[in-house]
């Protein structure tokens, strides 16, 4: 991030880096690529002890952040998660914690938040349709039955659903959007693991076949589109920060390689054609870092243009991260295509993040819609 950190934030950031480097550095994440869960729950609880899941929860509910700006503090962690290609549901855990803290009843906050913040309860956000797109909950019907609801349908590409104890699902009740808390152990819930491009990440489809929940499972009100949009903005802010962390690590690796790799008697980084590519990529990277700061501030402060800023940054970072990653691959040449090289781990994380909360084209269309422009402007 392009952000001047105060003393507390600097200490928090340094502690996060030391924890990651000591407990799960990049070379050790490869050991988890074949693990069905994808991460160790003891490691996850240690991360929670550092406050990874408290920052978007008010102090009154047991949470709190380092600086008082919880989203900015969370993006500091997200960036390092990308830089070290860490596993686990950091983004959805924080989205769910923020949603419960903002809209949950007193009973929901007291019963759910403590477990999430401690890393004892793994929660994830099931928001997407079967094809991974936003559908306003249309793919999951919640029909009224007595004093509760019966859920039928599918949520697609749910992050870490196989490890989750609890799902916050986006559904439709009487044709309006609603969010409902569903335990993964509920009868009728089926989690189908998917093969993910990012080897450190686990995604799954979740099917609901007549899943019965009571009315207390409803989070907030019915038809609260603003709450859902707020959660999307938080997810985007954390997601782009993570992407930029991976992008930064990959570019740093590539610059060093260009200095070390010798061809025709000189380092390849001394050739003008590669200098131009790396100079352009350095500019794109700095712009992406500035974007992360902008979206964290806009969303964190709930400015009037927060939704527009979030989609603008998501679109730009999505485009530029893929572009820079491809340049880095080309500069590495043949070694970059090998399984043993770490380059592909960053490329996989970048590409996975780009599609997880909406492709760049989707966000460009969203910006145009927010400004009353037509589809022609998005293209």
Q: Give per-residue pLDDT as tens, 162-184.
A: 999 999 999 999 999 999 999 99
Mean pLDDT across the chain, nearest whole number?
Answer: 95
And the tokens for 325? 């990653």
Is the per-residue pLDDT at 262 higher than 80? yes
**Fold entry, domain 225-378:** Butyryl-CoA Dehydrogenase, subunit A; domain 3 (1.20.140)
pLDDT band at residue 362 using 50, 70 and 90 as cut-offs: confident
C-alpha–C-alpha distance, residues 16 and 6, integer Å: 15
Q: What's residue 269's pLDDT?
A: 95
C-alpha–C-alpha distance, residues 41 and 307, integer Å: 34
Q: What's residue 5's pLDDT?
A: 87
Q: What's residue 379's pLDDT?
A: 60
Tell me: the pLDDT tens digits for 15-32? 999 999 999 999 999 999
pLDDT band at residue 372 using 50, 70 and 90 as cut-offs: confident
pLDDT band at residue 1 using 50, 70 and 90 as cut-offs: low
Closest CA to 23 of 68, 76, 78, 87: 87
C-alpha–C-alpha distance, residues 99 and 106, integer Å: 13
Residue 137 Cα distances to 129, 156, 266, 268, angstroms: 7, 11, 57, 51
Q: Which position has the higher pLDDT, 5 or 317?
A: 317
Q: What's residue 175's pLDDT?
A: 94
Class of domain 124-219: mainly beta
> What mean pLDDT is predicted for residues 231-258?
98
Question: Is 3.20.20.190 the CATH number for 7-121?
Answer: no
Closest CA to 85 of 37, 29, 160, 161: 29
The residue extents of the domains of the chain are 7-121, 124-219, 225-378
Is the per-residue pLDDT at 321 higher than 80? yes
Q: What's residue 233's pLDDT?
A: 97
> What mean pLDDT is predicted for residues 69-78?
97
Q: What's residue 67's pLDDT?
A: 93
Is the per-residue pLDDT at 263 higher than 90? yes
Is the per-residue pLDDT at 187 higher than 70? yes
> What mean pLDDT is predicted for residues 236-261?
98
Tell me if the pTM is above 0.85: yes
SS3 29: helix
Q: What's residue 24's pLDDT?
A: 97
Closest CA to 38 of 200, 229, 224, 188: 200
Tell me: the pLDDT tens digits for 207-224? 999 999 999 999 999 999
- 200 near 29, Cβ under 8 Å? yes
Q: At what angle do helices 306-332 and 360-370 cross, to 10 degrees?
A: 160
């Amino acid at each position: 991030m392009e952000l001047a950190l105060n003393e507390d934030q600097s200490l928090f950031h340094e502690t996060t880096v030391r924890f990651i480097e000591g407990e799960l550095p990049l070379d050790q994440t490869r050991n988890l690529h074949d693990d069905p869960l994808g991460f160790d729950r003891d490691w996850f609880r240690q991360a929670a002890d550092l406050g990874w899941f408290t920052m978007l929860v008010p102090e009154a509910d047991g949470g709190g952040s380092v600086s008082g700006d919880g989203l900015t503090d969370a993006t500091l962690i997200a960036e390092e998660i990308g830089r070290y290609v860490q596993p686990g549901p950091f983004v959805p855990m924080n989205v769910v914690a923020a949603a419960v803290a903002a809209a949950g009843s007193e009973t929901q906050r007291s019963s759910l938040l403590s477990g999430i913040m401690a890393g004892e309860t793994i929660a994830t956000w099931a928001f997407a349709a079967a094809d991974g797109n936003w559908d306003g909950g249309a793919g999951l019907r919640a029909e009224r039955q007595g004093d509760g609801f019966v859920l039928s349908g599918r949520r697609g590409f749910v992050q870490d659903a196989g490890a989750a104890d609890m799902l916050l699902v986006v559904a439709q009740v009487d044709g309006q959007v609603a969010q409902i808390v569903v335990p993964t152990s509920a009868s009728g819930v089926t989690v189908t693991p998917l093969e993910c491009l990012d080897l450190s990440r686990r995604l799954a489809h979740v099917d609901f076949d007549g899943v019965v929940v009571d009315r207390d499972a409803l989070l907030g009100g019915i038809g609260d589109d603003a709450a859902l949009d707020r959660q999307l903005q938080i997810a985007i802010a954390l997601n782009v920060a993570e992407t930029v962390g991976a992008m930064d690590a990959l570019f740093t690796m590539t610059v060093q390689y260009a200095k070390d790799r010798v061809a025709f008697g000189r380092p390849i980084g001394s050739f003008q054609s590669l200098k131009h590519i790396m100079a352009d990529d350095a500019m794109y990277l700095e712009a992406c870092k500035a974007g992360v700061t902008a979206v964290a501030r806009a969303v964190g402060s709930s400015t009037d243009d927060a939704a527009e800023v979030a989609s603008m940054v998501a679109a730009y970072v999505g485009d530029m991260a893929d572009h820079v990653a491809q340049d880095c691959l080309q500069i590495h040449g043949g070694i970059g295509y090998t399984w043993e090289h770490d380059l592909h781990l960053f490329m996989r994380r970048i590409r996975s993040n780009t599609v997880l909360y909406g492709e760049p084209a989707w966000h460009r269309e969203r910006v145009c819609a927010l400004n009353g422009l037509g589809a022609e402007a998005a293209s």
